[in-house]
Amino acid sequence: MYKAKELRDLSIEELETTYHNACKKLFELNNHFKGQKERKKPHEIKHARKDIARLLTIKTQKSL
């Protein structure tokens, strides 16, 4: 999980690569859990979505 203070220190290019990595992680988590009836760690999906939102927010703030 990323913290906003850490993300604000990154450049826009680093934010974009971190964003793409977070999207890949969310995709992998969703595909991993689809075949299972019981999810062992469903909170990881929520954390990944919040990380993506946090990244996009800071990227937008930097571009203004």
- The pLDDT of residue 21: 96
pLDDT tens for residues 5-56? 999 999 999 999 999 999 999 999 888 877 777 777 889 999 999 999 999 9
Instruction: Tell me the CATH number for domain 4-63.
Output: 1.10.287
- Of residues 52 and 2, more confidently modeled: 52
- The pLDDT of residue 18: 95
- The pLDDT of residue 46: 93
The pTM is what? 0.84
Q: In this structure, how many other beta carbons lie within 10 angstroms of the beta carbon of residue 29?
A: 19
- The pLDDT of residue 33: 72
How many CA atoms lie within 13 Å of 30's alpha carbon, on the beta-carbon side?
A: 9
CA distances, 41 to each of 8, 22, 28, 38 (Å)? 28, 17, 13, 9
1 near 9, Cβ under 8 Å? no
